[in-house]
Structure 1
Amino acid sequence: MYYYFDGKEDLYAHVLRVELEQMIARTGPFDIPAGSDPDAFWSELENYYLQLMSALETAPQLAALIRGWIAASATPAMQQIQQEMEKAVVPWMERVLATGQRIGAVRTDLPSGLLIAIAVGMGQAMDTWLLTQSPNAANLPRLISALVGMIRRALEP
């Protein structure tokens, strides 16, 4: 095992990364909204987030992996791996942010790095809550709408 991985944390992160990539592949890629309507921009983000969280309902093993990841994220090794995984999505987040700014859905008065940090922080809190509370499918759309609404209020002009 140590030929391929630096340790248990590295193996855990690899399995989680592969499983997340497969779930996202099944859900389909998120196309950055190309329109010019801020409401449509936020609606598309909300719909995609709902699709991802709904997909987790059908993948209880992956949800359990993520809950374990959250519980172990206090260790320095896991924090480093989490930061590396976050860096991998930063270019995509920068493109989404730039598109949102171009169409007037996202504020332009603060540095993009700060806006991304705010969105990531809120997103992590949301993901943690959703994964640990396991809301039923009937409540999920309402909760996702409320949670994305909070991000929207923090990031919109």
Structure 2
Amino acid sequence: MVAVSDSATTSLPPERRRRLLETAAREFAAAGYEQASLNRIIRACGMSKSSFYYYLDSKRELFELVVRELSDSLVRQLRIPEAEEFAVDFWASTLRLLERLADLAEREPLFTDLGRMFHLPGVPTGHGAAVDSAVAAAEGWLDRALAAGRARGAVRDDLPLGLQRHVTFAVLRAFDEWTLRHLAALERAESERLVRAQFEALRRLLAPRHETEENA
């Protein structure tokens, strides 16, 4: 079960608050941001409109809350090490992280809903928006991990770091978006092959030429 951190809804009883976040995540992931119905969410939670608006002002505020709290929970459960520690054994660390992420997505459907929410059109953006903040945090960590990997010789250094991070993040997002779109049709063995394929794509993109040749 996903833990719920402090927020504007902290005075809600824990079970009602968790139900609100889980129901909202499913609605946003299934219907999209624009088409998601606040009325459906409220009814499914057994809340009155007046009760909902006592805690939150709008659908946008609810969306921001769901993204922020589920993202925080995902990061905690992934136990992502500091970039310098990650780079000690860069490629083994990369594979372990991808495998843990896939395992969490399988065990906790809310993280699958969260992933879909990051790819929705029309979501709130701009300064302080939850999606933008989460992406910026991920990009910042990736910058540090790539820099540490380059310093240790595990990552090629013939490209500007910013470009390398941009291309790496694009590959990760492409795999994530495709997998989420086809998740219902994927068997476990296929999901495991996708994780390995994602790892190999990153290694071919980032590893120094001599390392990719040795592992070919």
TM-score band (shorter)?
0.7 to 0.9
Query: Scaled by the length of structure 1, what TM-score is found?
Result: 0.79
RMSD over aligned CA atoms reads 2.7
Conserved 8 A contact 2:70-2:114: no
Conserved 8 A contact 1:16-1:66: no
1:3-41 superposed Cα distances (whole Å, 9 cap, x missing partner) = 987853453133122112212312323343343xxxx42
Inter-CA distance 76–15: structure 2 relative to 1 (3 Å threshold):
closer
Aligned pairs (5 A) from 1:63-82:
63-70=112-119, 72=120, 74-75=121-122, 77-78=124-125, 81=129, 82=131
Equivalent residue, structure 2, for 1:22: 73
**How far does residue 78 in structure 1 lie from its aligned partner after superposition?**
4.4
Conserved 8 A contact 1:9-1:78: no
Question: 2-side partners of 1:151 and 1:2: how far apart?
Answer: 45
Farther-moved stretch of structure 1 (22-31 vs 124-133) = 22-31
Inter-CA distance 156–23: structure 2 relative to 1 (3 Å threshold):
same
93, 96, 101: which one aligns with 1:44:
93
Size of the alignment, in residue pairs?
151
Paired residue type of 1:92: W
**How far does residue 122 in structure 1 lie from its aligned partner after superposition?**
0.7
Higher relative contact order (CA 8 A, sep 6+): 1
Q: Identity over the aligned pairs, expressed in percent?
A: 28
**How far does residue 116 in structure 1 lie from its aligned partner after superposition?**
0.7
Unmatched 5+ stretches in structure 2: 1-51, 209-216
Equivalent residue, structure 2, for 1:33: 86
Inter-CA distance 21–55: structure 2 relative to 1 (3 Å threshold):
same
Return the index of the structure with the highest Cα Rg. 2
Farther-moved stretch of structure 1 (20-29 vs 146-155) = 20-29
Paired residue type of 2:204: R
1:83-110 superposed Cα distances (whole Å, 9 cap, x missing partner) = 3322122331122011110121212121
Conserved 8 A contact 1:16-1:62: no
**How far does residue 139 in structure 1 lie from its aligned partner after superposition?**
3.0
